[in-house]
Every structure is written in C-alpha cells, then in structure tokens.
Structure 1
Amino acid sequence: MTTHVGKPTPPTAAGDLLERPATPGQRLHAVLHRQPALSPAIVLILAGVVFALLNSRFYQLQNLSLIAQQVAVVGSLAVGQTLVILTAGIDLSVGAVMVLSSLLMSKLVFDNGVPGVLALLAGAALAVAAQAVNGLLVTRIKLPPFIVTLGTLSIFTAITLIYAKGQTVSLPPGGFLLWTADTVSIGQLHLTNGVLLMVALYVVIGFALRYTAWGRHLYAVGDDVEASRLAGISVNRVLLSAYMVAGLAIAAAAWILVGRVGGGDPNSGLNANLESITAVVIGGTSLFGGRGVVLGSLIGAVIVQVFDNGLALAGFDPNYQVLSVGILVIAAVSVDQWIRSVKA
C-alpha cells in the first residue's frame, strides 16, 4: 500500500513572522503618536457638544467671544511654555516674568512719559533677558529647569512687588499699549486685538517648529540630548534659544495683559504659571520632551476655558471647575505615558 505524503509547506519568511496584523489599540496608539493634538481636539469637541446640551447659550457668539478673550493671555503664555517643555524642561516663572514685563511697560508710559512703542520694546527686552537668565542657569551651570524656574519665580515676583510698591498703574484710554484691548467685530462675534495677536503668535511659532532647522533641532534635543549632540547639534544653543524665544511669547502675553487690565497690576496673573503648564499638558505635549505641537497648547487653553464657562452656564459649583481641570491633567499625562510606551 502506498502512503501519500502531503507536499511540505514552504518555510514562512522571517518578515511574515514579524509582521502581525495591528490591533485596534495599536492603530489608535500609532495615530495619537503621529497627531499629538488629536486627543485634545476630540475632548474639546465632546465638551462643546455636552455643554451645548446643558445650556443653549453656550454656542451664542457673545459667549464664544468671551471664551476667546479669556484664552488670550494664557494661550500666549502657553506658546512659550510649549517651547520649554518640548526640550524636556519646564518653566514655573513664565507668569511672574509676564507680570513684571507688563508692569514695566505701564510704568514707563505712566510715570516717565515714554512712548508706548518704546515701552513695549523695553518690556519685551526684559522678558527675553529674564528667560535668558533661566536658559543660562540650565545650560551653563547644568541646574534642573524645575529648580531654576522655581527659584526665579520667587525672584521675579519679589522684584515686581518691590518695583510696584504695592500700587497698580491705570493707563489712559487710547494709548498704544491698550491696542490689544480694542475690539474687532464680525457680526455678533467680538474679538479683541489681543486674541488676533495670540493667533498670529501660534502661526509664526508653529511654522518655525515645523518647517525650520531650528524647530527640528528643538524636537531632537527634547527627544534625546546625547543623540542630538552626537549628530552635531549645539544642544546648549538650542536650549538657550528655546528660553529666549519663549521670552518673546511672554512679552506678547504681557502686552495682552496690559490691555485686559487697563495697565499694570502686580497681583494679576497669579495662577498663570500653572495655567500655562495645564494648557500645554492637556494639549498633548509630552512632559518628557520631543513630542507635541503648539496647536495642541492652544486647544488645551481653550479646553480649560470651555470647561470653566460651560460648567458656570450649567449652574455647577465653581469648585467643580477646578476638579475638572485636575482630572483633565491627570488623564492627559496618562494618555501621554501610554503613547510613549512600546507597542505590544
């Protein structure tokens, strides 16, 4: 009796053994890794739907105008914070630098009669110089960014209080520094020039991060310092430039703040440091550096204001606004940890 032996199956290629069909979780992981702003955008859309159902006034143009105006200061600060966090650092002093810069601008005009343009340039120079101090302490003395900016937070806050002598400065209407408070109306949508300045800031920095060598170097340094150094990137120069460009964003936020409060107030922006970090983290930028987009920080800043505004319109206790932001921060960091993990 003849035994028929089946034709042997050809050996499977090594590539076939390694390539497995991606699971839905893996596909989601890959999409979120490529698009850091996607997850906060989804949160923003869902929040908008929920709050519109809770109160029909949420999507009225007057209310949207209010949200945009409330975002302008923190949103501008978040640009500078994003640049620092992309390098795997953190800046706890951005709010204090902003307030000091805004006070200098206002007092130069009010006390010394300096033209508004020159006062703005002086405030911007101060903000850049303050951030240069942070950058030099990080790059030259090799101190951790958290410790450096925690210390300069106290220093800049003290300088502001000493300089202000406990007094606020109210500027007369119509001056150049109050230009950011002027309103541009599109039907029932009323946007201040400060909002438009913030949007322009995001466009410029977003373009620089995506299409310039400086932006690519910034991401590379945040992702792996040693590999960047071996690739010929001047790591210290890139880190210092990140802090100094952040100073320009802080100066823009200071100008918007002057327009919002009508001058200089040493007690304004008390929570701006944490609010800027919150916006960046919720916006999908990794606290470990090297991943994130500046647009996500804008979305994060809008999310915080949308939750504050939507919960207020729905009649919730203000404490729930604080609670919601805390939950969002923890959720955002958890998602970031998952995205950074090795795919299964």
Structure 2
Amino acid sequence: MTAPPSRSPSRRSRRSRLRGHHLIGSYGLPALAALLFLVFSVVLPDTFPTLDNISSILSSQSIPAILALGATIPITTGRFDLSIGYGLGLAHVVVLWLIVDGGWPWPLACLAVILGGTAFGVLNGLVVEYGRIDSFIATLGTGSILYAFSGWITGGARIVPGAGGLPTAFTDLYDSRFLGLPVSASYVAVLAAALWLLLERLPLGRYLYVIGAGVRTAELVGIPVRRYSVYAFAGSGLVVGCAGVLLAAEQQIGNPSVGIDYLLPAFVGALLGSTAIRPGRANALGTVVAVAVLAVGLAGIGQLGADFWAVPLFNGAALLIAVGLAGYSARRRLRAGAARSGGSPANGDAPRDLP
C-alpha cells in the first residue's frame, strides 16, 4: 500500500495565512475597541476608565446604536434606507405632539408612532421594489417628505411640555437604570440579540442574505424578492419608531431637525459593522462592535479637548473607511467562495448562504 500524499508545506502555509486573515477580519474591530479603551484609559486615568464615564458612553450612544441596527436590516438585502434620520426626527416630534398637544396617554402615543414607523417602512419598500426606484434616491425623497411633515406639525418651532412636564413613567424609558447601567443600553442588547437570531438562525434572515448576494440567485431558488425586501424596510421602520420614542423620552423637547444628526453615525456603524464578526456582510453583532469603536473614539477625543468640528470629521473619515473595508471584505468573501467551489470570482451574483 502506498502512503497517502502529505500536504505540501505551501498549502499548509496558505491555509494558515487564510486562518490568520479570517481571525483579523472577524475580530480585528473588537480588538480595536479594546485597544482604544486601553489607550484612553492610560492617557486619561482619572476620567476615562470610570463607571460614570462608561455609563455616559452607553447612554449617549444607545440611540445611534439602535438606529444603526435598524439601518443594518435593509443593508442585508443590498438596499439602503436614507430616511431613517428624518424618520427619527418625525417620530420623536409626533410622540411629544400627541402627549403634549393631543393629550394622549403616553403608552398609546408610543404605540401609534411605532406602528406608524412600521407602516412607513412598508411604504418605502413598496416605492423601491414596485416603483423600481433605486433605494438611495427613493428613501432620500421619502425622507425629505418626512422632514417636511416634521416642520408642518411643529410650525418650525419646538414642542415644549407645559409646567407639569411629561409623565415620569415616560421619561423613565430613558432615564432609569438597569443593573446599575442606563436602561437604554439594555434596549440595544435586546435588539442586537433579536436581530442576531433573526438574521443568523431563522429562514427569514437567510432569505435576506441571499437577496443581498444577488437578486437573480434569490429568484432562481424561489425566494420572492420583492416581498422580503419590503419586510426588510418594514423592520427598519419599526426600529426607527422605537428609537424615536426613546429620543423623545431623552430630550423631552420636540426639535424637528434633530434626527438628521443621527443619519451619518447610523450608517457608519452599520457599514463598518459589516467588516467584523461576519466580514463581508451586514450583521447585528458587528454593528454593535462598530458603534462601540466609534463611541470610545468620540468619548476619548472629546475628553482630550478636541474642537466641535472633530466629531463630523471623525464620522466622515470613519464612513469612508467603513465603505472601503466593507467592499474589500465582500470581494474577499466572494473570492474565497469561488476558490472553494472551483468557480470564477467574476460573477458577483453568486449565492453566499443558501437557506
């Protein structure tokens, strides 16, 4: 009998390099978050590694994290929802308008806004899929309409509660604490876990990923592309409605233009998150890690005394890096899949994770 051929050193070396690249790609961003926290803790030992500072970071970044998770859902299908910032602004304005001017009970007002956000997400999906308009253009247009509604409802002014203020139970949605930390951080954890379960363990998530890998492939395996794309936009609208309720509980004043400030950080988190944990595709855990990197970085440079323009500079540079890294991760994933199957990586419509 002849002994089985041994693997060549070059093949073993190549596999070792691939494993190393996979580990760096998957866990490089979490390592960067830990490294940033360590560096700022050494530079600012009296203020940065404290429970108060950690609580402040968790509290201030909870709404951007929730919005980034909402943006992640359509991105799994290769679509983008640019209306999320405008929707956030309208949602928080409508909640306060219903409570302050309409006299609605706060639970009913919150439920109405969440259902309204979901319905608007469905409308976005219908415009994109059945109107056959590019998602960038369609959601930018619908977002501008939402912004107009915000101005119409408020008359361009802020909604300020009366002398009695807002119900304490409503403001506690944001102000209270859970296990010693801001309760808003627990919302992020619950939403991230729910999205992870949806996208990674349930057929619906697999269908969304296949659509994102290629519409033609999804149609060939029998997935109703339009229907599931509408589901993705509806999920985004649902999350935006919830984020609007939380923003209203935080600010307690209706500002019709505030939501636009959250648009860029949300997409930075969602796109940068697609380079971590599951490189090459949008995923909930990666989005949370990306938001953590941004939060630690912004908190650190803020405590170092950076000027006000450092925040948009940081977010803009991070967005460019995120888009570049996301494209690179997707191409590398496609090449790796083609190499395993013996096919050509030139076909960008190849399936990734069939259900």
Give the TM-score range, shorter chain. Answer: 0.7 to 0.9
The match for 2:221 is 231
Give the alignment partner of residue 44 of structure 1, picking from 33, 43, 46.
Answer: 33
Quick check: 2:70–2:237 contact (8 Å CA) kept in 1?
yes
Give CA deviations for 1:95-125 in whole Å, capped at 9, x if unaligned: 1111111111111111121111111111012
Match of 1:248 among 234, 238, 253: 238
Moved over 6 A (4+): 15-18
SS in structure 1 at match of 2:265? helix
Give identity over the alignment, percent: 26
Q: CA deviation at 1:241?
A: 0.2
Distance verdict in 2 for CA 1:98–1:116, change over 3 Å = same
Q: Write the distance in 1 (CA, Å) between the matches of 2:310 and 2:103.
A: 45
Decide whether aligned partners of structure 1 residues 326 and 167 sit closer, same or farther in structure 2, where only a CA change above 3 A counts. Answer: closer
Q: Is the 8 A contact 2:96 2:253 kept in 1?
A: yes
Choose 202-211 or 78-87, whichever is displaced more.
Answer: 202-211
Q: Distance in 2 between matches of 1:195 and 1:170?
A: 26
- Seen in structure 2, the aligned counterparts of structure 1 residues 17 and 316 have a Cα distance that, compared at 3 Å, is closer
| 1:241–1:32 Cα change, 3 Å | farther
Q: Look up the equivalent residue of 2:31 and give its one-letter code.
A: I
Corresponding residue SS for 2:133 = coil
> Take 1:303 and 1:152, find their aligned partners in 2: how far apart are those partners?
31
Query: Quick one: distance in 1 between partners of 2:17 and 2:327?
Result: 14
Distance (whole Å) between structure 1 residues aligned to residue 311 and residue 65 of structure 2: 18
Q: For 2:253 and 2:202, locate their aligned partners in 1 and report how far apart those are by CA, in whole Å.
A: 36
Match of 1:335 among 312, 315, 325: 325
CA RMSD of aligned residues (A): 2.7
Unaligned runs of 5+ in 1: 1-9
**Which stretch of the first structure deviates more once superposed, 277-286 or 157-166?**
277-286
Q: What pairs with 1:48-59 in structure 2 (closer than 5 Å)?
A: 48-56=37-45, 57-59=47-49
1:175: Cα distance to partner? 4.2
Report deviation, 1:256: 1.0
TM (norm. structure 2) is: 0.84
**Pair 1:308 & 2:336 matched:** no
The match for 2:167 among 162, 174, 177 is 174
Q: 2:122–2:234: 8 Å Cα contact kept in structure 1?
A: yes
Letter of the 1:121 counterpart:
L
Across the two proteins, how many residue pairs are aligned to each other? Answer: 327
- In structure 1, how many angstroms separate the alpha carbons of the residues matched to 2:262 and 2:311? 16
Q: Cα 1:167–1:272, aligned 2, differ >3 Å: closer, same or farther? A: same
For residue 154 of structure 1, the aligned residue among 121, 125, 144 is 144
From 92, 99, 104, give the equivalent of 2:89.
99
My pick for the range that moved more, 240-249 or 201-210, is 201-210
* C-alpha distance in structure 1 between counterparts of 2:56 and 2:43, whole Å: 18
Displacement of 1:16 in angstroms is 6.9
Q: Determine whether 1:77 maps to 2:67.
A: yes
Change beyond 3 A, Cα 1:185–1:205:
closer
Q: TM-score with structure 1 length normalisation? A: 0.86
Residue 306 of structure 1 aligns to which amino acid in structure 2?
V
Equivalent of residue 134 in structure 1, options 119, 124, 148: 124
- Structure of higher CA gyration radius: 1
CA distance in 2 between partners of 1:237 and 1:217 (Å): 11
Preserved CA contact (<8 Å) 1:181 1:259 = yes
- Which structure 2 segments of 5+ residues have no match? 340-355
User: For 1:281, which of 251, 262, 271 is the aligned residue?
Assistant: 271
Deviations 1:235-290 (A, max 9, x none): 1111000000111111111111011101422122222111110111222259xx97
Q: Which letter maps to 2:200?
A: R
